């Protein structure tokens, strides 16, 4: 699909809201911290306990560095998620939302870190730093306001997003009485998506090491988050899709998650074309804007199965037409046997 003028305009506005504005906000925060650096203790408070007192500390110079890396990293990560797939001409509410989230998240980081850093000016000991509740509350409020502003600053453009209406019906395969047939394919997440997810995990791992070196007790939280994301990535990068007399089975390469739709639950099987970013907000196990659930690993051809209870399951996989035709044949046979 070729990008329309509306999509080009939406991309340009996203660049302002989701990239330029976050970078400017981050730069302002970093400059303020560098100006204040001579006025704060050599070791500053970076984490506060539930009772309001500081319980984590780090060298003062690491705070502006961390702010720059986190602020710039968030903008780059969201931009990669949104702008790379949109080159195919797709756009929808998800991209608009991610632009607003990028701006809001960066604002939250910049306000809370800058305020908590600045309020330590003039202190001899970082243990005397005041509570962080006010900076956090103001940061959350500012994030909500900038996020809402970022949403309305972008145009309402929708191309191919969330419709799910174009489903190509297929003719059932001709199977002889008692004939057995099995269809099996492996589907893999797109290269850019895997690269983006892997880069995010590496960034978290680097952040974990940095926190550990500085002695911050928050390092174990970052480590747990990194490990969880690593497991989720391993569980969603590759799936095995199988159609046989048991129905449709979609199973991760590591065994879980696993999805199975028996023949008796299938109302119709067909082929559709999926644009992950516009219709599902990304890649992996996704719920679409129209309520469809699926294993969405790349753009293009997908098998779509409508259940008898109205739910719809989608899996992006090559040769989906053959899978749908076999499912139709096996379902018809199942219905005849039950009659």
158-205 residue pLDDT tens: 775 444 457 888 877 787 787 888 999 999 988 777 877 787 788 778
What is the predicted pLDDT for the residue at 94?
Answer: 76
What is the per-residue pLDDT across 221-236, written as a single tens digit (0 to 9) for each? 777 878 888 888 888 8
Alpha helices in the chain (DSSP H): 5-14, 21-36, 62-86, 93-118, 133-152, 191-214, 219-236, 320-338
Sheet holding 284-287, edge to edge: 167-169, 266-274, 300-307, 312-316, 293-296, 284-287
For residue range 127-155, list pLDDT tens digits in order.
888 888 898 899 999 999 999 999 999 99
Q: What is the 3-state secondary structure (H, E, C) of 139-196?
A: HHHHHHHHHHHHHHCCCCCCECCCCCCCEEECCCCCCCCCCCCCEEEEEECCHHHHHH
Greatest mean pLDDT among 6-20, 86-100, 195-209, 282-296:
6-20
Rounded distance between C-alpha atoms, residue 197 and residue 219, angstroms: 20
DSSP 38: G
In Å, how far from its chain's centre is CA 157?
A: 20
Residue range 299-311, pLDDT digits in tens: 888 999 999 888 9
Domain boundaries, the chain: 5-159, 167-187+238-338, 190-236
pLDDT at 207: 72
Q: Would you say the pTM of this structure is higher than 0.85? A: no
**What percentage of the chain has pLDDT greater than the value 90?**
34
72 neighbors 23 (Cβ within 8 angstroms) = yes
Q: Which fold has domain 167-187+238-338?
A: PH-domain like (2.30.29)
Q: Which residue is it, tokens 């199965």? A: 305
Higher pLDDT: 133 or 278? It is: 133
Indicate the SS3 state at residue 66: helix
């Amino acid at each position: 699909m070729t990008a329309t003028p509306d999509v080009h305009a939406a991309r340009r506005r996203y660049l302002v809201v989701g990239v330029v504005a976050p970078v400017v906000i981050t730069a302002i925060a970093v400059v303020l911290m560098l100006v204040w650096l001579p006025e704060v203790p050599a070791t500053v408070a970076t984490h506060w306990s539930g009772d309001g007192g500081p319980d984590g500390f780090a060298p003062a110079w690491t705070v502006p560095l961390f702010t720059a890396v986190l602020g710039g990293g968030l903008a780059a990560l969201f931009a990669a998620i949104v702008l790379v797939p949109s080159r195919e001409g797709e756009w929808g509410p998800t991209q608009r939302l991610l632009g607003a989230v990028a701006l809001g998240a960066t604002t939250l980081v910049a306000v809370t870190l800058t305020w908590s850093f600045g309020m330590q000016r003039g202190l001899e000991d970082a243990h005397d730093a005041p509570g962080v509740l006010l900076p956090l509350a103001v940061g959350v409020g500012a994030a909500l306001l900038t996020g809402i502003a970022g949403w309305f600053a972008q145009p309402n453009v929708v191309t191919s997003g969330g419709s799910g209406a174009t489903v190509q019906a297929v003719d059932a395969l001709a199977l002889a009485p008692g004939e057995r047939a099995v269809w099996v394919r492996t589907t893999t997440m797109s290269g850019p998506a895997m690269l983006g997810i892997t880069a995010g995990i590496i960034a978290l791992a680097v952040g974990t090491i940095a926190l550990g070196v500085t002695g911050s007790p928050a390092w174990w939280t970052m480590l747990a988050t990194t490990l969880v994301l690593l497991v989720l990535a391993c569980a969603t990068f590759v799936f095995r899709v199988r159609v046989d007399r048991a129905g449709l089975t979609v199973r991760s390469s590591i065994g879980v998650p696993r999805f199975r739709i028996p023949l008796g639950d299938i109302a119709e099987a067909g082929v559709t074309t999926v644009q992950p970013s516009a219709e599902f907000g990304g890649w992996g196990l996704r719920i679409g804007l129209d309520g469809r659930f699926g294993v969405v690993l790349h753009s293009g051809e997908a098998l779509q199965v409508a259940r008898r209870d109205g739910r719809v399951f989608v899996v992006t996989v090559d040769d989906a037409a053959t899978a749908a035709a076999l499912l139709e044949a096996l379902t018809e046979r199942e219905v005849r046997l039950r009659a």
